[in-house]
Amino acid sequence: MKNIDSYTHVRGESVYLDDIPLQAGTLFAAAFDSPIAHGKIKSLDTTEAEKSEGVVRIFTANDIPGENQIGGIIPDEELLASTHVHFCGMPIALVIAHSEEQARAAVKKVTVEIEKLEIITDPRFAKEKGELIIPPRTFQIGDTSSAWKDCEYIFEGSTETNGQEHLYIETQGAYAVPQENGAIRIYSSTQGPTAVQRTAARVLNVAMNKIEVDTTRLGGGFGGKEDQATTWGVLCALAAYHLKKPVKYCLHRMEDMRMTGKRHPYSSDFKIGLDKNHKIIAYEATFYQNAGAAADLSPAVMERTLFHCNNSYFIPNVKATAYSCRTHLPPNTAFRGFGGPQGMFVIEAAIDKAAAALNVPASLIQQKNLLKTGDEFPYGQKAESEANECWNKTNEVFNIQQLQKEVADFNATNKLYKKGMAMMPICFGISFTKTLMNQARSLVHVYTDGSVGISTGAVEMGQGVNTKMLQVAAKIFSISPDKIKVNTTNTYRIANTSPTAASAAADLNGRATEIACAAILKRLQQAAAEELKISPDRIEIKDEWIYANGKKTEWDWKKLVLATYVKRISLSELAHYTPPGIHFDPSKEKGHPFAYHVYGTSITTVTVDCLRGVYEIDSVKVVHDFGQSMNTMVDMGQCEGGIVQGIGWMTMEEIVYDKEGKLRSNALSTYKVPDIYSVPKEITIHPLETQKENLAVFQSKAVGEPPLMYGIGAYFALRNAVKAFNPSADIAYNAPMTPEKVLMSLYTSVHDNISK
Ligand code: MTE
Ligand code: LUZ
Ligand code: MOS
């Protein structure tokens, strides 16, 4: 089954926010955002801007009828700055004009006087100052303090991982259109239509039932539109509310990069202890998360860092503490992996450090400590592990030793090029860690001509979730996919949705769709049974034909649908799904938060040009736990995309804020994402074949985020290549490993000060 969007994508006919035909009289918005990262607003002057050509009105915090508040988890973020600004790019005023150009020209004429206050960009410094978003949290198993004495070897260190720009191809945006009686429809490029609806209602002080949010699809979200699409949707709604005219705002790329948050940078400390057989006995980690200026999703991201602090290893004694540190950067937010990759990098660094000191390959320590079924995670859940299965299959399919030998042989015979290799096992928990968010609904209508319409809370953002919803209905009804249409995601049809996130959208919405279709199917079977005068359990629908007692009848799908309608039996169903058995108690930091885990193992090989510091990713070879993939094309695409995005984060994407909190890497000329020349020359993905039961839709495990973490292997492969050239290189665990950093470490050593 190919992705149902491929036809319109290829023809350029797929509708994104900026393609929606505009109503006559539509106005355009542009935000005036803070040029200062932290300060008190002394005065705001919009008089010149108001005189600017085409300007209709300029809104400020004073024009907000309800609460000036967009914070989702914690109410700590104003929509428009009232008295203080907290980051460069924070919206202060909203200019409305007859054209986009006029709105942006007027923005340039707004002036503000800000009394600068202390600007903090470093999370450790913020923590010293007591600037925490929430109190710190600690996950614990066993007792590290008494375990150290049982360790033969103990190593300590620190790591840094930088942020990451989402760089969805479609920038953030919204289009708000007033309806009768004060209602507003917001077309929004959001992963969370309900978040936009709820926040618009709060800001405008209207009931949620007056706000309709509609989303056709996104040109990528990657977490960047889980929470942060809200600002633009609500700003447009605010203007539409006052002016009673449609208002549109699509951000330009540099506005988007400047004003929105990114993946959280982390600064971390670790201490790892092993016995003489390289078993990890104890592990301690402290994470300093750079949250930016407001909570946004940071507390949830921080929590997932703790959930994934041991990656796919069993460690009997773990103590992991995390601080969410308030700085004056744009609030950082969800990004594929959601804090998990940041936690996993630290344990991989700890293993790398131990391996280097003990002069063994890291793979030896990795393999020896893989989770087994029944092992307990630090948060209490018992593993249903595929970690060893994935590792062993990787060896079987790709021959790890042979690959290691090829790298060693290459390095022995080449002076100026060196290869490096690294293994990266992954383990990622599937479910929102906030248990209540694990719920979804699906509305299925069968029309009298036999065609089917599906509406769910899932948002299509390139990951193929609509295709999967359609497959569910096609399979349950046993009808052709051409008979089925997946509708836009709309808060009037499906209410109180969780965002499309946590890789869980296909599972949650898919299982709800499964339940809805099954309920309608049952009624169809009942109606057929009456017509054919046999028991309903003897009725079967196969490929649009009705079978009775296993024999094909005269009845086809269409005829049965119409007959059921004539009997006045409902052909519609709204179903609800929530995964059974999940729970978590934050007061104990224990529970069973995940429906299941996804596992996998990758081998990454790189070649470094030791004169120039540039490098190529030769190959990424993976065994991935798909469960039983319901769409291998879509799922392979998710793996490839995730791997490349992970490699980008780990090797080349470098976000730079200066000490004033200004984004220096503010355009694609200064921020480098992987392109066709820098992606791996080879990506081979081999599915792990297991028949084990899981809670995934049709046993097809969630695939959206886990593969990103294979990208961490590229960082360690590069380190290993550098070490092959310069064994005394002193390389800080500081990602991304840019060509600049590679070059520096090729020619510096433990004894040089410049490397520090
Ligand atoms: N794939 C594409 N093409 N575009 C995206 O924006 N987002 C990722 C992943 N894959 C994304 C993507 C993220 S962050 C998540 S959480 C999942 O898709 C969400 O979709 P799912 O729950 O349907 O897997
Ligand atoms: N979003 C969220 C997520 O709100 N909760 C989560 O647990 C999560 N996990 C991954 C990605 N987004
Ligand atoms: Mo994905 S970070 O859960 O949107």
Ligand 2 geometric centre to CA of 463 (Å): 16
- The answer to whether the CB of 187 is under 6 A from ligand 2 is no
**What CA–CA distance (Å, rounded) separates 740 from 727?**
18
Residue 372 contacts residue 585 (beta carbons within 8 Å): no
Q: How many CA atoms lie within 13 A of 126 on its CB side?
A: 26
What gap in Å lies between CA 64 and CA 238, rounded to an integer?
A: 7
Measured from the Cα of 223, ligand 3's closest atom is 4
Are the C-beta atoms of residues 106 and 95 closer than 8 Å to each other?
A: yes
- Give the mean model confidence (pLDDT) for residues 408-418: 98
- Atom 8 of ligand 2: nearest residue by CA position: 502
pLDDT in tens, 242-274: 999 999 999 999 999 999 999 999 999 999 999
CA distance 491 to 496: 7
Which residues is 577 bridged to in the sheet? Answer: 440
Catalytic residue among 460, 514, 705, 740: 705
Distance, CA 259 to ligand 2 centroid (Å)?
A: 22
Ligand 3: nearest atom to the Cα of 501: 3
| Cα of 433 from ligand 2 centre, angstroms | 7
pLDDT of 543 higher than 50: yes
What is the arithmetic mean of pLDDT over 168-195? 98
| Ligand 1 center to 500 CA (angstroms) | 8
CA of 502 to the centre of ligand 1 (A): 8
User: Residue 171 and residue 186: Cα distance in Å, rounded?
Assistant: 16
In this prediction, residue 751 carries a pLDDT of: 59
Ligand found nearest the CA of 299: 2
What is the reported pLDDT for 754? 45
Judge if the beta carbon of residue 37 lies within 6 A of ligand 2.
no
Q: Whose Cα sits closest to atom 11 in ligand 2?
A: 502
The residue that leads in pLDDT, 749 or 354, is: 354
Q: Tell me, what's the pLDDT at 755?
A: 41
Give the distance (Å) from ligand 3 centre to CA of residue 602. 22
Q: 723: Cβ below 6 Å to ligand 2?
A: no
Ligand 1 site, CB within 6 A: 220-223, 336, 461-463, 465, 500-506, 638, 641, 702, 704-705
- Nearest ligand 1 atom, CA 703: 24
pLDDT class of 731 with cuts at 50, 70, 90:
very high
pLDDT band at residue 750 using 50, 70 and 90 as cut-offs: low
Q: Is the CB of 501 under 6 A from ligand 2?
A: yes
Strand, helix or coil for residue 708: helix
pLDDT at 752 over 80: no
Best residue among 301, 509, 705 to mutate for probing ligand 3, ranked by most atoms within 8 Å of CB: 705
Per the DSSP assignment, residues forming a β-bridge with 605 are: 421, 619
Question: From residue 45, how far is each of 6, 92, 195, 520, 707 by CA, in Å?
Answer: 49, 11, 32, 61, 49
Establish whether residue 334 lines the binding site of ligand 2, counting it when its CB lies within 6 angstroms of any ligand atom. yes
Distance from Cα 289 to the centre of ligand 1, integer Å? 23
Task: Spell out the alpha helix ranges (H) of 132-269.
Answer: 144-147, 193-204, 230-243, 253-259
Residue 473 has pLDDT above 90, yes or no: yes
- The residue whose CA has the least distance to atom 12 of ligand 2 is 502
pLDDT, tens only, 552-592: 999 999 999 999 999 999 999 999 999 999 999 999 999 99
pLDDT, average across residues 490-506: 98
Q: From the alpha carbon of 338, which atom of ligand 3 is closest?
A: 2
Q: Which of 134, 131, 159 is nearest to 266 (CA)?
A: 159
What atom of ligand 3 comes closest to residue 335's alpha carbon? 2
Mutation test residue for ligand 2: of 166, 304, 306, the one with most atoms within 8 Å of CB: 304
- Indicate which ligand has the atom closest to the C-alpha of 225: 3
Domains of the chain: 6-118+166-259 (3.90.1170.50), 266-433+589-746 (3.30.365.10), 439-577 (3.30.365.10)
Instruction: Report CA(718)–ligand 3 centroid distance (Å).
Output: 27
Residue nearest to atom 3 of ligand 1 (CA): 462
Tell me the pLDDT of the chain averaged across its residues: 97
Q: Is the pLDDT of residue 69 over 50?
A: yes
Please give the distance, rounded to the nearest whole angstrom, from the Cα atom of residue 252 to the centre of ligand 2. Answer: 27
When pLDDT is averaged across residues 482-500 and rounded to a whole number, the result is: 98
Helical residues (DSSP H) of 208-325, grouped into ranges: 230-243, 253-259, 298-307
Q: Is the pLDDT of residue 756 over 60?
A: no
Verify whether residue 406 is a known catalytic residue.
no
For residue 637, count CB atoms less than 10 angstroms from its CB and return exposed for 0-12, middle for 13-18, buried for 19 or more.
middle
**Spatial separation of the C-alpha atoms in residues 114 and 584, rounded to whole Å:** 44
**With 70 as the cut, is the pLDDT of residue 87 above it?**
yes
The pLDDT assigned to 690 comes to 83
Q: Is 486 exposed, middle or buried (0-12, 13-18, 19+ CB in 10 A)?
A: buried
- Measured in degrees and rounded to the nearest 5, phi and psi for residue 31 equal -95, 140
Q: Is the CB of 107 under 6 A from ligand 2?
A: no
**Which tokens sit at 301?**
């991201």
Q: Which ligand ends up closest to the CA of 459?
A: 1
CB of residue 338 inside a 6 A radius of ligand 2? yes
Q: Whose CA is nearest to atom 10 of ligand 1?
A: 704
Bond into 21 cis (ω within 30): no
Per-residue DSSP letter, 496: S
State which of 297, 430, 703 you would mutate to test the pocket of ligand 2, scoring each by most atoms of that ligand within 8 A of its C-beta. 297
* pLDDT for 689: 82
Mean per-residue pLDDT, 493-520: 98
* Spacing, Cα 300 to ligand 2 middle (Å): 7
For residue 136, give the nearest of 305, 338, 353 by alpha carbon. 305
Is residue 520 scored above 60 in pLDDT?
yes
Reading the block at residue 657, the tokens are: 């804020």
**Least distant ligand from the CA of 220:** 1
- Closest residue CA from atom 4 of ligand 3: 223
Choice among 202-206, 375-379, 719-723, 746-750 with the minimum mean pLDDT: 746-750
Ligand 2 lined by 304 (C-beta under 6 Å): yes
345 lines ligand 2 (CB under 6 A): no
Atom of ligand 1 nearest to the CA of 642: 10
